[in-house]
Amino acid sequence: MRKPVVAIVIVALAVAVGAAAIGVVSPGSTPASDLSPPSSSATSSAFTKYTPEIFASVSETDTVVLFFHATWCPTCKQFADDITANAERIPTDVRILLVNFDTATDLKQKYGVTLQHTLVQVDAAGSESARWIGTPTLDKLLSQLN
């Protein structure tokens, strides 16, 4: 009796891990591997992928938020989708820079980021001024910016 229960638990875990590894998505949604900022020029400066050059180009008066995301993270995908859908609500002096959690080890180390879906507000010099983990919506993030 105990062996079938153990086997069922092992199979269930294998299925869950496999589904997470391949990025299972619901019908009609975009796979998490397609996580990217909008491509329209109107919002591209407000929500864009992080590069050192883009960070260096922000104004000293801009509010910059580094969004550490992972392509395999469903909550990262949901948050990025919310930002994209509501990009017109991002004030002109706010920049949300998408940082790849899996590859940006230097930035993760600099800001002590250990979890995907971490957001770090930084000033123009790169000093941290605020941090959030798992922020559910763009509106909530915008209401909490310093």
Cα 106 to Cα 111: distance, rounded to the nearest angstrom: 9
For range 136-145, the mean pLDDT: 93
CA atoms within 13 A on the CB side of 121: 15
CA distances from 43 to 9, 37, 38, 69, 95 (A): 46, 9, 7, 19, 10
Q: Which residues pair with 95 in a beta bridge?
A: 64
Per residue in 41-73, pLDDT tens? 444 579 999 999 999 998 889 999 999 999 999
Lowest average pLDDT, out of 23-27, 86-90, 102-106, goes to: 23-27
Lowest average pLDDT, out of 28-32, 93-97, 127-131, goes to: 28-32
The CATH classification number of 30-144 equals: 3.40.30.10
Task: Retrieve residue 30's tokens.
Answer: 């975009």
Sequence spans of domains, the chain: 30-144
Per residue in 4-24, pLDDT tens? 655 555 544 444 444 443 333
**H-helix segments, the chain:** 2-22, 41-44, 52-57, 74-85, 105-111, 138-144
Q: Is 68 exposed, middle or buried (0-12, 13-18, 19+ CB in 10 A)?
A: buried
CA 123 to chain centre: 19
- Proportion of the chain in helix, strand, coil states, percent, rounded to 5: 45, 20, 40
Q: Which residues pair with 133 in a beta bridge?
A: 118
Chain mean pLDDT for the chain:
80
